[in-house]
Amino acid sequence: MSQIKPKTTRKRLSFMSTVLITGASKGIGRSCATLLHDRGHEVIGLARNPANGEFPGEFHCVDLLDRKALDSILKTLCASKPITGLVNNAGIVGAQPLSEINLETMDEVFQVNLGAATQCAQHCSSTMKQQGVGSIVNISSELVLGLPNRTAYTSSKAALISATRTWALELSRNNITVNAIAPGPVNTEFFTRNNPPGSSERKRKIDRIPMGRFAEPADIAKTVAFFLSEDARYITGQTLFVDGGSSLASSALF
């Protein structure tokens, strides 16, 4: 006699979920938007600058340094959209050696890299609680391990990893997962502009990567898609280094 399996009441993160992505106009954020759209998600993108070409979803220009403007658009979106996914991808660098750190610049880096991520998580987690399910993915960086002249960037990204663990503890009872991804060098337009092909700096960085190549934005986007999927519903509070093994190298990061 066949056994009748009991029905489960636990909600699942639908393939057709609505995902909010910051820094969505280019690079990793744009790749995430394209991949998630292609996989059936409804995508909402936020970025300071307009997206080039046709964006694969709904797009809004907002300066993440402007807390009031960001708060306003988040209130509007979360009141009208059943958001169950959030990708905190936006980030700025603010490179300065310790002796020359401008605290105003440092404040700006922290506002975009941690403050805006926190604002998005506050608003979106409230909506996720109403939906009974959700997933937050924070894009940190391999450079949390240290790099000269990056005090603001590395410390803000390290704080984002700490926040990931804290939010995971707070939200797990609401069926909301929170995880972080720490990419190594990614072959974006910004990276290529600062590390042009043929340059000694580019060679030095690729020589550190055991797999012998830089990540493509799609490599990070696929990891984001995994954390947003049903397959990752029992994973929370984790940081995954997606770096081709460069964080395992014995050589220093500089």
Among the listed residues 69, 49, 71, the one whose alpha carbon sits nearest the alpha carbon of residue 59: 49
Q: Which residues contact 202 (CB under 8 A, 6 or more apart)?
A: 195, 196
Catalytic residue among 7, 68, 81, 157: 157
Contact between residue 84 and residue 134 where contact means Cβ atoms under 8 Å apart: yes
Structure tokens at 67: 């807390």
Catalytic residue among 153, 203, 222, 234: 153
Q: Which residues contact 63 (CB under 8 A, 6 or more apart)?
A: 48, 69, 70
For 74: left if phi > 0, alpha if psi spans -120 to 50, otherwise beta; the answer is alpha
Contact between residue 32 and residue 98 where contact means Cβ atoms under 8 Å apart: no
Neighbours of 155 (CB within 10 A): 16
157 a catalytic residue: yes
Residue type, 126: S
234 a catalytic residue: no
Q: Enumerate the active-site residues.
A: 153, 157
